[in-house]
Structure 1
Amino acid sequence: MRYLLTIFWTLLLVNMLMYVAGSMVGSSYDFGTATTLGVVAVILIFIISALIPAQPTEEQ
């Protein structure tokens, strides 16, 4: 379930970011480009979360 929520929110937020940034610059919004960047962001999030150790380190 957490993977589905990660995909949903990342795609939603990247599309929103592309829409707002495009409006500020004056360019048109392209759903395909925004979704492609969202998928790349999802893949990067999954890779980074796999590289981070799950166990807390022991403090002395």
Structure 2
Amino acid sequence: MRYFWTVFWTFLLIQMLVYVAGSMIGVAYDLQTGIIITIAASILIFIAPLVLPNEPVEDHH
């Protein structure tokens, strides 16, 4: 279920970003561009916890 909500909120936020950025530079809104960016961002969000270390860093003074 957490994957669904992650993709859902990523989709909404990316679509908002595409709309606002497109309006600022004067181009038409494109749903497909937002979907492609949503897929890429979701994959990065799912991979990030797997790549980041889980244990605390030792102090090397």
TM-score bracket, shorter-length normalisation: 0.7 to 0.9
Instruction: Output the aligned Cα RMSD.
Output: 1.6
Aligned pairs for 1:1-60 (under 5 A) are 1-54=1-54, 56-57=55-56
Q: CA deviation at 1:57?
A: 2.0
Q: Which runs of 4+ in 1 moved over 4 A?
A: none
Stretches of structure 2 that go unaligned for 5 or more consecutive residues are none
TM-score (norm 1): 0.84
Stretches of structure 1 that go unaligned for 5 or more consecutive residues are none
Paired positions, count: 59
Percent of aligned positions that are identical: 49
Q: Distance in 2 between matches of 1:43 and 1:32?
A: 17
Counterpart amino acid of residue 27 in structure 1: V
Residues 58 and 7 (structure 1 numbering): CA distance in 2 closer, same or farther, change over 3 Å?
Answer: same
Q: Distance in 1 between matches of 2:12 and 2:23?
A: 17
